[in-house]
Homo-oligomer: A and B are copies of this chain.
Amino acid sequence: MTSDTVASVELRVDDLVATLWHAAGGLDPAAPIVLIGHGGGQHQAHPAVTGRARMCVEAGLNAAALDLPGHGSRPTSAGDSEFVAELQRRMKAAESVADLVAAHNSLLAGQAVPEWSALLDRLQRNECANVERVGFWGLSLGGALGLSLAAHEPRIAAAAVGLCGGDRLLELAGHVSATVQFVMQWDDEQVARADALALFDAIGSQHKTLHANPGRHLDVPIFEREAAVTFLARALASSEDDS
């Protein structure tokens, strides 16, 4: 993606290819960087990702992303195919998909954590970014990744996440100390309301805030994208001691 305001470059990270977005005028390695985790079935070049990357760059932040396992150009596993088949079966039968989605997303997120840590190492090695205080932005599968990464990776200082739940994330949440903005949908057919509230409650961070809106999984209001960028820019610019 190259435009009047945003430029992107590819970075090799072990066997993977990441995207780094920065201002078209040139990369400022001192600007805070936000890692963007895509949703289930998406990838790093999906408009939902590139649109967020543009918003970050326009707010003075750099951004970077990888494909999650089984997504984009990466091979699909037998488990991925079984997941999709079972998901489609349950949706046709109008059965609950919450446990199934939570388990699969947590599995992929756990596999992805070392890959996104390697991305941070790569950015640091090439002096592409200040990786001491990094942001994360992602919902659903991307939200599961964000909380899993924040639980394992002290360089994540702020995470705009949400639309996720389940037992595995609930166990990890207590290990998160990054400032978190958590978005949930009040009538989410993929995450039970009580599960989302319990996950927010379990997040160990001193600074966390919950945004909830009516509607289903895909009905997150547009204004939450602006709210996420505002949150990330504020949290990465300060120590949050004054919030």
Footprint of B on A, CB under 8 Å?
186, 197, 200-201, 206, 208-214, 221-223, 227, 234, 242-243
A243 engages B223 (CB within 8 Å): yes
Whole-angstrom distance between the alpha carbons of A209 and B214 in the complex? 7
With most chain B CB atoms within 10 A of its CB, the pick from A222, A223, A242 is A223
Q: In angstroms, how far is the closest chain B Cβ from the Cβ of A158?
A: 13
Whole-angstrom distance between the alpha carbons of A227 and B223 in the complex? 11
Contacts of A209 in B (CB 8 A): 211-213, 221, 223
Q: Which residue of B lies closest to A209 (CB)?
A: B213
B197 engages A222 (CB within 8 Å): no
Whole-angstrom distance between the alpha carbons of A236 and B210 in the complex? 24
Q: In angstroms, how far is the closest chain B Cβ from the Cβ of A54?
A: 19
Contacts of A222 in B (CB 8 A): 242-243
Q: Which residue of B lies closest to A206 (CB)?
A: B214
B208 engages A210 (CB within 8 Å): no
Given contacts A208-B213, A210-B213, A223-B234, 15 further A-B contacts (CB under 8 A): A186-B210, A200-B212, A208-B214, A209-B211, A209-B212, A209-B213, A209-B221, A209-B223, A210-B210, A211-B211, A212-B212, A221-B243, A222-B242, A222-B243, A227-B227
- CB-contact partner of A186 in B186, B201, B223, under 8 A: B201
Whole-angstrom distance between the alpha carbons of A1 and B73 in the complex? 62
Q: In angstroms, how far is the closest chain B Cβ from the Cβ of A18?
A: 31
Q: In angstroms, how far is the closest chain B Cβ from the Cβ of A213?
A: 5
Q: Which residue of B lies closest to A234 (CB)?
A: B223
- Interchain residue pairs A-B with the least CB separation, the first 4: A210-B212, A221-B243, A209-B213, A223-B243
